[in-house]
Every structure is written in structure tokens, then in C-alpha cells.
Structure 1
Amino acid sequence: MHSGSASSLPTSTVTPTVVLVHGAWHGPWCWDKMLPLLAEQGLQVRTVDLPSSGPDVDALGTLDDDVAVVTALLDEVPGPKVLVGHSYGGLPITEAAAGRDDVVHLMYVCAFMLDVGVSLLDAAGGQPMSWWQVSEDGRSITAGRPESVFYDDCDPEETAAAVARLTPQSMSSCTTPLRAAAWSTVPSTYVVADLDPELPQAVQEMMAAGKATHVRHIDAAHSPFLSRPRELAALITETVRAAVAEPAER
């Protein structure tokens, strides 16, 4: 894949639909700045709302529930798809795309790209991260110090608005191991956020090594959809363009 600014995609090809999958504590709102930028490139885009995150701690879903939501959208949308997962969103896209022939590319944006049998908690070293605020009953997690963990390079007003929309995440979504890994058969791109303070560049590169077909870099912390939306939109557009041209299997 080459670098450079994104140009509009040709309308004569069957262009994959882009499915954006948010990470933990977030919702589809986190992609709002990306949507018009991707639309400018002629891309059809869909987002999902993962049930593992939400305001009602008694109704939080599991990783299986998240996979089911992504699967339902894949079933609903005709034609080829490119799945884009951010952070925790790497888990449901990895499992949901397994065994499907309509997902032509996986894109991991500073995301967890894990092996079968590995959970997010396993990848974090087996213990809750220092900034996780685990509920008394152990069933949900609130993100502590999100300003530095998620939005280290974002505008202060934008950071405050995003922090206000964060919701609890289910613990089970972080402790459940993956049951399938689509990256073993589907081409993939890992976008390393070079300035990420909590998922360091070296850790991202380690996850991508031996798994990702392509590795790209973006000069951003953990939320490039807020701090570098145009650059991320260009990377997504280039990935979709390449997916049209390259074989759908590794």
C-alpha cells in the first residue's frame, strides 16, 4: 500500500462498505468526525453500537453479544465489507469476520489484535490496568483519567465533550478469550498510533507482527478519529482502495 492523500474511489468498482467498530467505554459517536470525511471519498459507512458499553451497568453485554451485533450488521449489509476496529473493537471484528467471504479486509486502529484463546485482560498482563476503576461487584469498569489515557493529543473542549459521553464497560468483555481469529485468513492492516501513552507503539507493533498484512503509522495518541480524523480517513480510504485490488484471502 502506498502513502499519500486519499482520492475519490472509482464508481465502476464494487467498493466495500466500511463498518466502524468503536472501542471500550465509547459508542458510535466517537466516529462522528470521520463520517463526512469518508463520505467525501464516496464510501458507504456503517457504525455499530456495542452492547458491552452503556449507561446501564445491569444491562451490559459480553464479547459474544458484541460479536453478535457486528455479525448482524454484516448479514444486513450486502456486498463486500471492510471492518475497522478501534482498541477493544479489534476483538469483535476478529471473531465476527471469521469464516465469512464478504469481509475482504480487517483494519485495526491502535487495536487489540489477538490470538484465539487470548482475552483483552490476558493481553494486558492478566491484571486490570492501573486506570481501570472496577465496580464493587466486579462486573463493570469505569475508565479513570480518560483525558490522558484516551485523548492525550485532543483539543481540551473536544476532550471534555468526549469524556462526558463515556459509559461503563462490562468486565466480561475484557475477560472472555477469542474463539476465532479472522486475521489468519483475511488480509489486514494495523494502524499504529505512534503517540499512544497507554498502548505504546512497541506493544502495537508486537501485536501486529506476524498477523497484519500491512502496518501503517499515524502521528496520534489513542483517539486518532478525534485528533487526526483527516489522516485516519485517508488511511481507511487507501485501505479500501487496496482491498478492491488485492485478493480477499491471505
Structure 2
Amino acid sequence: MAAAKPTIVLVHGGWHVPESYEKLITALEKAGYEVHCPRLPTTNQTRPPNADLYTDSDIVRSYVSSLVRAGRTVVALLHSYGGQVGSNALVGLGRADRAAQGLHGGVSHLVYMAAFAVPEGTAMMDKVKEFGHMDLVPIAFSFAEDDTCLNNDPKTLLVGPSEVPDEEVERYLATLVRWNGKAMYLPIKNAAWREIPVAYIHCTADMTVPLDYQKSFVDGMEKAGRPVQTFELATGHSPNLTATAGVVDAVNKVVEG
């Protein structure tokens, strides 16, 4: 009998909500996975915001904890800002750590999808500063006085060039919401990638988390002693929309590996 497939918990990016991943969730379900995508509180559009990176982390930790306590094996699929949330939230929930305590279930893999994967004490904007791109922030993002923000050109910066029909792109863009951009300036406290096996899906045409950022994340993890299984998709920042089959193929290879 074939082993049961792991449960996938998809941790979404900024501006996105679970509906933004409907195409990918459907494709993963057709491939035999059970998929969960909890909505992060930083996208609840409350003004002034009442949630930040740490609130998001608490929600994801609670959600995944309930699955692993039920004996589930979980693959965490982390997109964009979701990499910060997953890294911060999932420390101590790895399958190997739990097995060492005589516990069933746990997170078997972190799969970063054009996502931030940085050490403890690092914020997203620290990486932007490192690459000398802070002057691009007001061009890309529109911040209000309460720190909530919108993406100024999501069709270019989040979707990018693709063969996806225009009406499908427009449906996707319509799911995006105002987000608490303060989360980009807050450092993570934990780095779960130090203790849970990692894969990284590079998006080579990404204009939001450029490929050189993505390569630096992988390089940093490998220098810290964490091997990283890598995949490359010739697409922009939202492979959930523009390279769906490639994402499913990567997840399958991680699981089978």
C-alpha cells in the first residue's frame, strides 16, 4: 500500500488571501494532497492594523500544531512573506524533533516559494537594505500613515509576464487586499529551517523578490549547514498562478525524495 501523502499547509504572502491560491490548491488536491491555507490576520484589513508578523506566526503555529498533534505529517509551502511567518512559527514542530520525543506527526519539509528565508533577527527590509534597493520601496509599495500598504503595480510586480489568460489574471488581482506593511520591518525570532529539511523554488523572472535575493537565501542556509533542494521556474513572483504545474511537480519531488 502506498504511504499516505502529507498534508500541505500553504502560508500565503502579503496582500494575498487564501482565495489567491485557488488554482494551486485545486491542482495540489487533484494530485492527492489535503491542503490548508489559513488566512493571516495581517490581511484582515482592520485599520489601524491589529495584527503583525508575530500575530501571523502565532496563528500558523497553532494551526500546524493541531495537525501534527493529530499525527499528521505536514509539508509547509511558504510563499513570499509567508517564508518569514513559517520560519518564525514552525520551530520545534519538525518531524525529527517530535520523533525524538516519542511523538507522532510533524513538519517534514519547508518549501520556500520565492520566499524569504533568513536568520533570526532579520526583517524583510534588512535584505532590501543589504541589496541597496530601499529607493525602490516607495515605487513598488504605497504606505498609508497607519503602515498598511498596497502594491502599486501588482500585475507587473506580482504576476509578471505569463501566458495566463487576462481574465484569469484579473480574477487573481481582484483577490489582493490591503496588508499591514509593518510586517516587512519586523525581524523573525526563530529560523525553523535550521531544524527542518528545506526546499526552495526559485522564480527567475521575479520582480518583487528578485532572483539574487532568492539565491542569497539559499546560500545563507547552506553556509549555516542546512542542505537545500532547489527548483527553478521561469516565472514571476506568483507561480501559484503562472507556473502551477511546476509548483506541484516540485512538491511531488520533495515528498517523494
With the shorter chain as reference, the TM-score category is: 0.7 to 0.9
How far apart, in 2, do the equivalents of 1:69 and 1:240 lie?
Answer: 25
How far apart, in 1, do the equivalents of 2:63 and 2:2 lie?
Answer: 25
| 1:111 is aligned to 2:115 | yes
Deviation for aligned residue 1:144:
0.5
Task: Determine if contact 1:150/1:222 at 8 Å carries over to the other structure.
Answer: yes
Residue 246 of structure 1 aligns with which residue?
none
Aligned runs of 1:107-146 on 2, under 5 Å?
107-125=111-129, 127=134, 129=137, 130-135=139-144, 137-146=145-154
Deviation for aligned residue 1:92:
0.7
How far apart, in 1, do the equivalents of 2:149 and 2:112 lie?
Answer: 23
How many equivalent residue pairs? Answer: 231
Equivalent residue letter for 1:103: V
| 1:52 is aligned to 2:67 | no
Gapped regions of structure 1 (runs ≥ 5): 1-10, 243-250
How far apart, in 2, do the equivalents of 1:138 and 1:35 lie?
Answer: 32
Aligned runs of 1:223-234 on 2, under 5 Å?
223-234=238-249
Bigger helix fraction: 2
Residue 162 of structure 1 aligns with which residue?
172
How far apart, in 2, do the equivalents of 1:103 and 1:95 lie?
Answer: 14
Aligned runs of 1:7-18 on 2, under 5 Å?
12-18=2-8
**How has the CA–CA distance of structure 1 residues 60 and 150 changed in structure 2, closer, same or farther, with 3 Å as cutoff?**
farther
TM-score by length of 2: 0.84
Deviations 1:173-202 (A, max 9, x none): 111101000111111001000111232222
RMSD: 1.7
How far apart, in 1, do the equivalents of 2:50 and 2:249 lie?
Answer: 33
Q: Secondary structure at the match of 2:42?
A: coil
Residue 183 of structure 1 aligns with which residue?
193
Equivalent residue letter for 1:140: T
Equivalent residue letter for 1:122: D
Gapped regions of structure 2 (runs ≥ 5): 95-105, 222-226
Equivalent residue letter for 2:216: M
Identity %: 24
Equivalent residue letter for 1:118: T
TM-score by length of 1: 0.86
Task: Determine if contact 1:150/1:221 at 8 Å carries over to the other structure.
Answer: yes
Deviations 1:196-232 (A, max 9, x none): 1232222211111141521110111111111111111
Q: Secondary structure at the match of 1:197?
A: coil
Residue 14 of structure 2 aligns with which residue?
24
Task: Determine if contact 1:25/1:54 at 8 Å carries over to the other structure.
Answer: no
Q: Secondary structure at the match of 1:216?
A: strand
Equivalent residue letter for 2:143: V
Residue 88 of structure 2 aligns with which residue?
95
Task: Determine if contact 2:47/2:146 at 8 Å carries over to the other structure.
Answer: no
How far apart, in 1, do the equivalents of 2:232 and 2:78 lie?
Answer: 15
